[in-house]
Amino acid sequence: MRRTAKRLRAMAALAGLALLPAFVPAQAQAAGTRPFSVTITHVGCVDPCSAEGLEAALEGHPDFYAKVFINGVEHRTPTIDNVFGVDPYWVVSTELPDTIQNVPVTIQIWDTDDTSGDDLGDDTPHDDDNNLDFTVSYFDGKWRDTATNKTDNVNWPQSCSSGDGDAGSDEDEPAVKVCWDVSTTSTSGDADGDGLLDGWERNGYNEDGDGTIDVDLPAMRAKADHKDVFLELDWTTGRAPTRAGIQAMKKAFAAAPPNVGSTASSRRAPNGGFGVNAPPNPDGTNGINLHVDTGGLLDPGGREGGPVGTCSDGVDNGADGLVDGNDPTCNGARTDYLDASVENPQPTNCTDGVNNDGDAFTDSQDPDCLVGDNLGRGGVIADPGACGLDNATFYPSRRLNFDSGRRLIFHYGQIVPQPGVATCPRQSGGQGEVGGNDFVAFNVDAGTIMHELGHNLNLRHGGHEPLPNCKPNYVSVMNYDLQDGIPRVGDGTILDYSPPRTIIGSTSRGRAPLPDLKEDALTEPVILDASDAVNRFVFVDSTGQKVPNNLNTSPDWNRDGDPPFESMVPATNIDDAGPGPVRTPAACINTSTNELLKGSDDWSSVSLTFRQFGDSADAAINPEDDDVPTTSELQAMHEERNTTDVGVTVTDNPDPVAAGTDVVYTAVVTNHGFRPAASVTLVDTLPSQVSYVSDNAACHSSAGTVTCGVGDLLAGASRTVTITAHVPADLVYNAGGPVTLTNRAVVDNLAGPDPLANNDSASTDTRVVAVADLAVTSFAPTAPPTQVLIGQNLDVTLQGTVANNGPSSPMDAVVVTAATADPGATVTPSSSTRNVSALAVGSPQSLDSTFTVGCTQPGSHTYRFTASVTPARPDDTDPVAANNHRPAEFTLDCVVPVAINIKPGANPNSINIPADTVPIGVLTTRAGEYALPLDFNATTIQPLTVRFGPRSAVYGGTGGSAEVHDRGHIEDVVERTTTPVERVRDGDRDMVLHFASATSGLRRGDTEACAKGSFIDGATGRTYRFFGCDMVRIVQP
């Protein structure tokens, strides 16, 4: 009766409070509303309550529920039966007018009694009061003692209150304890569904409810409107996590899809607890912020301001011809990940004491240099000697190294060595709680860490089921086949749950769950995910071999060399372990060939909230059962699925090749194996004599070595790489003859072993010869004569230029000049040979040839010359014959020499200038007479053509004087025969002509005068020229 009376008084007091204006909801106002919620995190007895105190005799423990009055409006929670204490996480929520800035809250804790009526507990330290009262500010979400009754003295950050019970007045009920949190941002109390209450993420978490914040979540960058997951890692010496690994995990979580955790409640943990669904992030962005506390652990390769994730940027960052997954710095170790590792990293600068990137942080204070997040814990611990999540080893170490105040905030993992088989017969790579917060990793790779963390998030080895493991249609690090990373087309791995990302750096993902696979109803046209062209799954083919396969291509289940793709294949155990001698993963060994394998969607079903699964400081709640692959097993599995035979052939073109031109080497790289070759590299060693020009595969050339990232080759596929090199133009010349070049190509699959080495290299020999387009570029006589007296010889010089138009240069050449003349003319020699040494491109050489010309017959005669150039060495060739020859010619007028007698009968032949008219007798002679070469009939002279004067005026031009009578006189002129006296007439008919001395051009001092003109040959009727001279004495007044 006493408790009933007090209960009635408490209810009456609350009813009175509800009448106060400050507590009346503004329902009638047109203003908007905003959410408000109170989460009861703990309720328990302070005073004895088992069949006494709050609970009646023989009624066991209390059946707790709470009444929460928000702004004067009562809300009741569900009831939890028969518990001494419980963490119910009851959420009482409402929408309040946005005009309210301070919200009064009253919390009552009740026990339900079916027989005697419900009993109120005392949850306030204030005497004579059983109701906990406080006021919450919308401004910061914090509470303070209510303005109307400050005697409760409960103010933020205190988040638990216990009544004084029977220790106070008899008005107090039995004491109970209540803990709570308040959200002014959501009606769920956890707006983003990450298991961290809004008030915790906004203002910090108080583990024991006292007046001190134990986990400063805002300082750790937690956000109430974006999902956060916190993980603390400890490790033993030498087993520290890597920055690339931690960053790879962070990037996977950051790219979590919008529906992450949306179906978590459909997954049940082994202990019967269910996951908790999560809504989309209230901030409208995707992903989960994963915070990994590794304390001040420095990345030994860290770099302030250095690039991040350059193994997936499509750029050849090292300028070595290898890009992203095809670069050893991106795939050379199982701790390299495409989205987090750095291609060709620069030396660390994290210990130089300099703020290298201007961000106000130096060395260990700069996040760029840290492996994870420095959240105050995480570090080296003593080796616990654990075989797993052991009660006797792991948990004592956990109690020693893990702050219990973090137990509802952080997952906790240790990276430690596992003792040998004598201590731990079941060797494993790690163990985690399935739905929980603890794990141990005996492997140091981030894939294992993310695998075990996945168990904490309520994921199994089959996604939604513990077995079967190694399912081809389950692409996740939870799959033992993919625990160390999901293989990508083009090599390299990423860490991810199902469905994995397709585009690194975005939230683009493939489909999940993937289609079912029935082992005795397999078809090869099946494609697991046509939208995913970058990720691979792993299966066991009909021969028992592990085979990676692109998600968007058909698998060759029976390894018969597709195509064709069979619509039905024999039943195959596609989720088995790999072949011996040690079959891995051992947990995947099975003999079934008729299993139904179902895909799974991890991300939608992860449970970020884990408190509902339970927590123990002394033992694992739900440890996984299977033995996780060890590091050595993971390495063996990696090598197995990447073992394939790659080979190369190489040919050259042209062969032989001309010095000074390019030679093209064609390397054909082929994957002869049945697995993809994920990271094929071609290294071509050029002959030392050539220089690299170009290629068709974005290769890198350095010091004669050309490195080409061939990339990914599916089984049976080939890729052709062409490399163009330039052969020096002078190679053959300097060697004295043809040269043999040897080019060698070597192919390697950086992703894994090659079982056949004899086809990994190939070479080809190329003969280099000298080939040049030699040309006679000019050839002509130098000032050629126009006439010559029969019986006289003239030297004529012909000047020529030869050039080398390449490609080979220089080249020794021979120039031969051939000479011919018309009948009646002579030229000697008939040919001339000149050697031209080192005729080089751009440096033509000139050469002269001299010939002697003459004639035996009168009239015009043509002299013809041809200069020809050819290579001097027998192996050298000239491909262009058209310009090897160049002709030249000239024509001479062969003039008949004659005898003339000036002033016949006179001696000396005195000429008075200008008074004299000079008679001249042109004599008819026979060959030999006067030492003349030919007969001459002077009567055939054409008088009007004759000119008289000095030799220079008459012979070379039209100077001198003409016949003054315009006619000639035929007569027998007295001649000089055997004596100087001109008295003899020989009976010949000669031609006498007369010329004015005044216009002859003769001058004082001249001793010779000449006549030149034309005559008609009686035998041929042709007109020829004649020329003759006689001695004179010039008399000039």
Q: What is the pLDDT of residue 297?
A: 97
576 part of a folded domain: no
Share of residues in the chain with pLDDT > 90 (%): 80
The 3-class SS string of 111-158 reads: ECCCCCCCEECECCCCCCCCCEEEEEECCCCCEEECCCCHHHCCCCCC
Q: Are residues 755 and 830 in the same domain?
A: no
The mean pLDDT of 568-587, rounded to a whole number, is 91
Mean pLDDT of 233-261: 96
Q: How many domains does the chain have?
A: 4
Element containing residue 15 per DSSP (H, E): helix 2-18
| Cα separation, 47 vs 67, whole angstroms | 20
Structure tokens at 462: 């089959």
Name the pLDDT band for 778 (thresholds 50, 70, 90).
very high
Q: Is residue 351 part of a domain?
A: no
880 with 943, same domain: the answer is: no
Instruction: Give the separation between CA 606 and CA 1021, rounded to whole angstroms.
Output: 123
Task: Report the 3 state secondary structure along 332-396.
Answer: CCCCCCCCCCCCCCCCCCCCCCCCCCCCCCCHHHCHHHECCECCCCCCECCCCCCCCCCCCCHHH
Output phi, psi for 781, to 5 deg. Answer: -70, 150
CATH of the domain at 985: 2.60.40
Please say if the pLDDT value at position 248 is more than 50: yes
Q: What is the pLDDT of residues 259-300, one digit of tens each?
A: 999 999 999 888 778 999 999 999 999 999 999 999 999 998
| Average pLDDT estimate for 150-173 | 80
778 and 835 share one domain: yes
Residues 832 and 909 in one domain: no
Separation between Cα atoms, residue 911 and residue 995, nearest integer Å: 11
pLDDT score of 1007: 96
Q: Quick one: 916 and 972 in the same domain?
A: yes
In this structure, the answer to whether residues 904 and 881 fall within a common structural domain is: no
Under the banding of pLDDT at 50, 70 and 90, the label for residue 977 is low
In a domain, 400, yes or no: no
Beta bridge partners of 970: 991
- The verdict on 867 and 947 lying in the same domain is no
Q: How much of the chain exceeds pLDDT 70, in percent? A: 95
Confidence of residue 27 (pLDDT cuts 50, 70, 90): very low
CB-neighbour burial class of residue 280 (10 A; exposed 0-12, middle 13-18, buried 19+): middle
Average pLDDT over residues 209-218: 95
Average pLDDT over residues 9-26: 33
Residue 934 lies in a domain: yes
Are residues 886 and 738 part of one domain? no
Distance CA 165, CA 174 (A): 4
Q: 598 with 586: CB under 8 angstroms?
A: no
Tell me the three state secondary structure of residue 330.
helix
Residue 99 sits in the same domain as residue 130 = yes
For residue 526, what are its two tokens? Answer: 């099946």
Measured CA to CA, the distance from residue 31 to residue 101 in angstroms comes to: 13
- Compute how many other C-beta atoms are within 10 angstroms of the C-beta atom of residue 639: 12
The identity of residue 634, as a single letter, is: L
Is residue 46 in some structural domain?
yes
- 3-state class of 11 per DSSP? helix
Looking up residue 172, the CATH number of its domain turns out to be 2.60.40.150
pLDDT of 1033: 95
Residue 572 lies in a domain: no
| Mean pLDDT over each residue of the chain, to the nearest integer | 92
Asked whether 610 and 437 are in contact (CB, 8 A), the reply is: yes
Query: The domain that contains 792 carries what CATH number?
Result: 2.60.40.10
Instruction: Inform me whether the pLDDT recorded for 755 exceeds 50.
Output: yes
Cα–Cα dist 85/959, whole Å: 145
883 & 903 share domain: no
pLDDT over 90 (residue 14): no
Q: What tens digit of pLDDT does each residue of 454-486 get? A: 999 999 999 999 889 999 999 999 999 999 999
| Cα separation, 142 vs 146, whole angstroms | 12
- Give me the count of residues in the chain: 1037
* pLDDT score, position 701: 96
Q: What is the CATH number of the domain that holds 708?
A: 2.60.40.290
What are the tens digits of pLDDT across the range 322-381? 888 888 888 777 778 888 888 888 888 999 999 998 898 998 899 999 999 999 999 999
Q: What is the pTM of this model?
A: 0.81
The tokens describing 411, both together, are: 């997952």
| Pairing label, strands 160-162, 176-183 | antiparallel
Q: At 245, phi and psi to the nearest 5?
A: -65, -45
C-beta neighbour count of 526 within 10 angstroms: 14
For the chain, the C-alpha Rg in angstroms (whole number) is 56
- Give the alpha-carbon dihedral of 137, 143, 145, 148, to 10 degrees: 30
- pLDDT at residue 744 is higher than 70: yes
Domain closes at, from 872, 894, 916 = 894
Kindly write down the DSSP assignment for every residue of 632-680, as one continuous string. HHHHHHHHHHT---EEEEEEEESSSEETTSEEEEEEEEEE-SSS-EEEE
Tell me the one-letter amino acid at 184. Answer: T
Nearest to 812 by CA among 872, 863, 858, 762: 872
Q: Where does 879-972 have alpha helices with state H?
A: 951-954
Q: Among 475, 472, 494, which residue's Cα sits nearest to residue 484?
A: 494
When pLDDT is cut at 50, 70 and 90, the band that residue 2 belongs to is very low
Instruction: Read off the pLDDT of residues 681-735 as tens digits, 9 standing for 90 and up.
Output: 999 999 999 999 999 999 999 999 999 999 999 999 999 999 999 999 999 999 9
Nearest to 764 by CA among 690, 820, 686, 712: 686
What sign does the dihedral 99-101-106-107 (CA atoms) show? positive
Task: Provide mean pLDDT across the span 533-548.
Answer: 97
The answer to whether position 180 is within a domain reads yes
- What tens digit of pLDDT does each residue of 618-651 get? 778 889 988 999 999 999 999 999 999 999 999 9
Residue 2: phi and psi, rounded to 5, are: -65, -45
Q: What is the pLDDT of residue 425?
A: 94
Tokens describing residue 307: 């690039």
3-state secondary structure of 841: strand
Count of C-beta atoms within a 10 Å radius of residue 797: 12
| Residues 873, 937 share a domain | no
Q: How far is the C-alpha of 205 from the C-alpha of 157, rounded, in Å?
A: 9
pLDDT in the model for residue 13: 37
The reply to whether 137 and 176 lie within a common domain is yes
pLDDT band for position 983 (50/70/90)?
confident
Residue 797 belongs to what H/E stretch? strand 793-807
Residue 828, φ and ψ in degrees, nearest 5: -140, 145
**Pick from 170, 189, 208: which residue ends a domain?**
189
Domain boundary among 874, 894, 914: 894
Mean pLDDT of 581-592: 91
Closest CA to 545 of 586, 525, 574: 574
Asked, for residue 660, whether it belongs to a domain, the answer is yes
For residues 428 and 437, what is the distance between their CA atoms, to the nearest angstrom? 19
Of the pLDDT bands very low, low, confident and very high (cuts 50, 70, 90), residue 984 is: confident
Domain that holds residue 183: 2-189
Q: What is the pLDDT of residue 582?
A: 83
Q: How far apart are CA 86 and CA 82, in angstroms?
A: 10
